Amino acid sequence: MLPLGLVATLENLLETYCQKSGTITSTINLSGGCINNAAKITYKGQDFFVKWNHNPILHGMMEAEAAGLQFLSSANAVKTPQVVGSGLANGIQYLVLVYIDQRRPAGDFWEIFGEQLAQLHQNSAASFGLSQSNYIGSLVQSNRSWPTWSNFFMNERLRPLITVATKARLIDTALQKLFDRLFDRLDQFFPAEKPALLHGDLWSGNYLCNRENQPVLIDPAVYYGHREMDLAMTRLFGGFPQNFYEAYDHYFPLEKDWQQRIDLCNLYPLLVHAILFGESYVGQIRQNLRCILR
């Protein structure tokens, strides 16, 4: 249920948003993942999604997510839930979104999704990164600006997590040497491309299909990066249907051999999962590195 210390804040926020005075009349608990609590709430006959946590270590998480959703929305490519507000009340950080009624993907959903992601990725910037840090899962994601993708990928994505994983005794000396070998050759792997606006955590749990059969992106970890990162992430836990990739490639043709770089791109989310969920992911990291370097 909603914490009592949050109810008044949410009702004040919704009163401003709806321009109607009232109270929350219904609360249905939802899955919020392993980090947050979540619920569907009803105010003046309209449904909203709210999630919250009490963890002071995750400072600014909800504001970062709200900013990421608004950033994606401003690109006018893929739909996102409308942000109602975010903040901190009585030690509880929260995010409120307009609730998305869902259905199962049907018909041309995947072609639409592929085309819209291609449109999103055509939004570019002068450098790789973002003006602020954000989160991927419960880990802070640094987005300091770099002029080249290889430097950004190495210094803002892999090295910080290698340090954390090494301190947690997840990475041994032999695995560290494999990463060192990769860094010596990293410039050779990725084709040169402009920075692309990325969702940043695009797996099957981070999109919805709304009632109009349109894709809706949720839980972003946005930054300007190499677009193959988003596509590789879609393949990490089973992959999207082939017509998604075909539609994407039609509207924004991919560089040759992009599929051979999937294991390289996915070193980052695998490191994230190893840190958050344990050493069962370390073997896949080791296997990916050996395949990349052979």
pTM of the complete model:
0.96
Q: Which of 283, 219, 243 is nearest to 72 (CA)?
A: 219
In this structure, the dihedral spanned by the alpha carbons of residues 45, 85, 53 and 153, taken in order and rounded to 10 degrees, is 130
Q: Which helix (H) or strand (E) holds 85?
A: strand 83-89
- Taking only the tens place, the pLDDT of each residue in 262-276 is 999 999 999 999 999
Band of pLDDT at residue 32, cut at 50, 70 and 90: low
In the DSSP assignment, the letter for residue 192 is: P
Asked whether residue 293 carries a pLDDT value surpassing 70, the answer given is yes
**Cα–Cα distance for residue pair 14/50, rounded to 1 Å:** 11
Q: Which of 152, 218, 162 is nearest to 187 (CA)?
A: 152
- Taking only the tens place, the pLDDT of each residue in 48-62 is 999 999 998 999 999
Ordered by where they begin, the domains of the chain are 4-98 (3.30.200.20), 109-293 (3.90.1200.10)
Measuring CA to CA, how many Å separate 225 from each of 40, 156, 264? 33, 11, 14
Instruction: Name 39's bridge partners.
Output: 29, 50
Residues annotated as catalytic are 201
Q: Which of 264, 285, 275, 136 is nearest to 198 (CA)?
A: 136
Mean pLDDT, the chain, as a whole number?
Answer: 96
**Cα–Cα distance for residue pair 119/13, rounded to 1 Å:** 33
What is residue 35's predicted lDDT score, i.e. its pLDDT?
A: 87
- Taking only the tens place, the pLDDT of each residue in 104-150 is 999 999 999 999 999 999 999 999 999 999 999 999 999 999 999 99
**Cα–Cα distance for residue pair 134/230, rounded to 1 Å:** 17
| Ramachandran area for residue 230 (φ above 0: left; ψ -120 to 50: alpha; else beta) | alpha
